[in-house]
Amino acid sequence: MLVLTRKLGESVVIGNEIRVTVIECSSGIVRLGFEAPPDVSIYRAELHREIAAVNEAARSAVPCLPPVDRSGK
């Protein structure tokens, strides 16, 4: 992992099109601003974890399935 130190108002550029700026920093909380093309998805890592947890819950709910017939028809 690349670790960079930034001060308030300073930025990091990722590739040519993504800029992350430190907007606010107080009592252990950092606010970040993101500038990126519209097709770049930006979301909190918790969302990724939550979706993975939903997937895990979903698969756990499937009872024992018959073996998949891999021979085709």
CA 49: distance to chain centroid? 8
Minimum CB separation from other proteins for residue 31, in Å? Answer: 17
Residue (7 or 70) nearer to other proteins, CB: 70
Whose Cβ is closer to other proteins: residue 4's or residue 45's? 45
Cβ nearer to other proteins, comparing 27 with 60 = 60
Q: What angle do CA 12, 16, 17 make, to 5 degrees?
A: 80
Q: What's the CA angle centered on 48, arms 8 and 16, to 5 degrees? A: 50
For 36, phi then psi, to 5°, come to -155, 160
Which residues bind to other proteins, rule: CB under 8 A?
Answer: 38-41, 43, 47-59, 61-63, 65-66, 68-70, 72-73
CB of 5 to other proteins, least distance (A): 30
